[in-house]
Amino acid sequence: MSLSHPDLKNIVEEWLDSNADDIVLGLNVESPNDLLEYERNLFLLLMQLGALIMAWILKTRLQDPSFQKYAEQRVLSNRTTSYRHATNPNTSVNTLFGNTVKLKLRYFLPERRRGRKRKGGKRGKRNGVGVIPALDMLGIQFKSTPALASEVTQSVIEGPSMGAAKQRLLRRCISFDIKTLRRISESFAAVGLKIRDAWLREDNPHNTPLVPECESLRGKRVLISMDGGRVRIRKNKRGRISKKNKRHKYNTDWQEPKLIMIRTITDNGEIDQEFKAIVDGTIEKKDAIYHLLNAHLLARDIQYASHIHCTGDGAHWIWNLLVRLFDDLGLDSSKITCVVDFYHAVEHLSIVADGRRGWNKWKRGKWMKRLKRMLKKGDVEGVIDELKKLARGRNAKAVKTQIGYFEKNKERMRYNVIKEKKLPIGSGAIESVIRQVINMRLKNAGTFWNLENAEGFLHLRSYLKGKRWKIIEQAVINHPLGG
């Protein structure tokens, strides 16, 4: 028998009666400190009320037999595996208000296969995985309500550490140990990767919750930026577990996470602020970043964009990937421009100037100013000629290296043409994203990552810093458990 609304009224009235004296203390505040303490205490009291209401809601809704039957029909009918009712265990669910609600819910296991009984050994990857349809129906995963799972994960990936996330959550009256924070956030990230991997295998790129239905690049001037960062990945060495530390010895090699950023440009050459930046990335090797960029572009109808402008530094992998991708997509080359970041090019000039021992500060500055002016006018050949004049003596080899850089990228350094088209000549935004997404969380000193966790956190942090958390949050909480 379900509880009725009068029960909720009783909960609120009992809470109010118990805390009325503390509530009216606010009428006697006389100083900033009094108001400070009162407001904090009131917040804690309201959290207690929220906890009481959430406990009543979850028990009333989830333990309702009719709702459980409805959830069983909806959840189990969408699965290819047949399930049988096994038991009604006690289940714990944590809420955003910091309380744990004990529930008794129907639990289902996969039907046993006919044939010879298993004689032991390890279970298969999916054998023995049970389902609680009532929880699945409301997106309750990781023993947490959707709001709590999202809040914990945001706090963890925001950084800079698990300890900082724990303190941040404590201010919200959410008290978990670091092990629990890690379990929730890593599980949330694993589901996010599962959704993304399913999308990359999908024949129809539009069939994904990761891309809003109304978001399209049709008729827009599109800006694509790419860059890489660095992160240490922990990989166990072969051999036995150390008796002293009770764990494997491991290597911590550097790997290069690669990020993409897609934005739109107005006719005046300014960044369109109404279009939220699309940020995503991967640490996986080979063609992972190619397939990721390809999916994002196809899902937003890149073939109908009015113009595509690409910016980046001089890294060969960026330009090789873009040439291959645009060829595979069959895009009109007349609608595509590529430019090496102007400020990266200037840094290469600085290397030459700094290597001239006989030059004082004034001479270096004068030379740099003249070559920057030539470069901005698109006179790359003139810049190369000036560099060749300096390619002699002790620093000849270093200067020739920079000459090679300009010769390889000279067609992407026609800055005068780019500016005439009212397109940006810099890639500072993607460098800022590299710092925010990778350096400030994944590249912390002394931090070594499991590859899968690093990939999951990189994916989630890209959405968070791109101000698209709502998209990934909705995708994860609506993803069927075990689906």
Contacts of 61 (CB under 8 A, 6+ apart): 67, 138
H helical segments located in 243-389: 288-299, 316-329, 342-354, 361-376, 380-389
Question: Does residue 52 fall inside a structural domain?
Answer: yes
Rounded Cα–Cα distance for residues 254 and 233 (Å): 6
pLDDT score, position 127: 44
Please report the DSSP string for 101-155 in residue order: EEEE--EEEEPPPSSSPP-SSPPPSSTT--B-HHHHHTT-BTTB-HHHHHHHHHH
Burial track 137-161 (b if 16+ CB lie within 10 A, e otherwise): bbbbbbbbbbebbbbbbbbbbebee
Whether residue 58 is contained in a domain is answered as: yes
Q: Which of 44, 62, 80 is a domain's end point? A: 62
Sign of the alpha-carbon dihedral angle for 109, 113, 119, 122 = negative
User: What's residue 116's pLDDT?
Assistant: 57
Report the 3 state secondary structure along 68-89.
Answer: HHHHHHHHHCCCCCCEEEEECC
CA atoms within 13 A on the CB side of 390: 23
Query: Radius of gyration (Cα) for the chain, nearest Å?
Result: 29
Alpha carbon distance 415, 412 (integer Å): 8
Asked if residue 263 belongs to a domain, the reply is: no
Which token pair is 388?
């060749």
Question: What are the tokens at 300?
Answer: 């937003």
Q: How many domains does the chain have?
A: 2
Of the residues 397, 417, 437, the one at which a domain ends: 417
Question: What residues have CB less than 8 Å from 28, skipping those under 6 apart?
Answer: 34
How far is it, in rounded angstroms, from Cα 412 to Cα 60? 64
Residue 91 within a domain:
no
The pLDDT score that the predictor gives to residue 418 is 94
Q: For residues 441 and 10, what is the distance between their CA atoms, to the nearest angstrom?
A: 46
Residue 95 belongs to a domain: no
Asked if residue 123 lies in contact with residue 451, where contact means CB atoms within 8 angstroms, the answer is: no
Q: What is the DSSP letter of 310?
A: E
Q: Which of 37, 62, 87 is the last residue of a domain?
A: 62
Render each residue's pLDDT in the chain as its tens digit; 483 residues.
344 588 899 999 999 999 999 999 999 999 999 999 999 999 999 999 999 999 999 999 999 999 999 999 999 988 888 899 999 999 999 999 999 999 999 999 998 766 555 555 444 444 447 899 999 999 999 999 999 999 999 999 998 999 999 999 999 889 999 999 999 999 999 999 999 999 999 999 999 999 998 899 999 999 999 999 999 998 877 777 766 666 667 788 899 999 999 999 999 989 999 999 999 999 988 799 999 999 999 999 999 999 999 999 988 999 999 999 999 999 999 999 999 999 999 999 999 999 888 899 999 999 999 999 999 999 999 999 999 999 988 889 999 999 999 999 999 999 999 999 999 999 889 999 999 999 999 998 778 899 999 999 999 999 999 999 999 999 999 987 654
In the 8-state DSSP scheme, what is residue 483?
Answer: -
What's the pLDDT score for residue 111? 86
Is position 351 within any domain? yes
**Could you give the C-alpha distances from 265 to 60, 271, 305, 308, 344, in angstroms and in order?**
51, 5, 11, 10, 21
Amino acid identity for residue 232 in this structure: R
Question: In this structure, is residue 141 part of a structural domain?
Answer: no
pLDDT at residue 35 in the model: 97
* Backbone φ and ψ of 238, nearest 5°: -70, 155
Give 168-210 as a DSSP string. Answer: HHHTTT----HHHHHHHHHHHHHHHHHHHHHHHH-SSTT--TT
In a domain, 446, yes or no: no
Domain residues for 384? 343-417
pLDDT at 392: 86
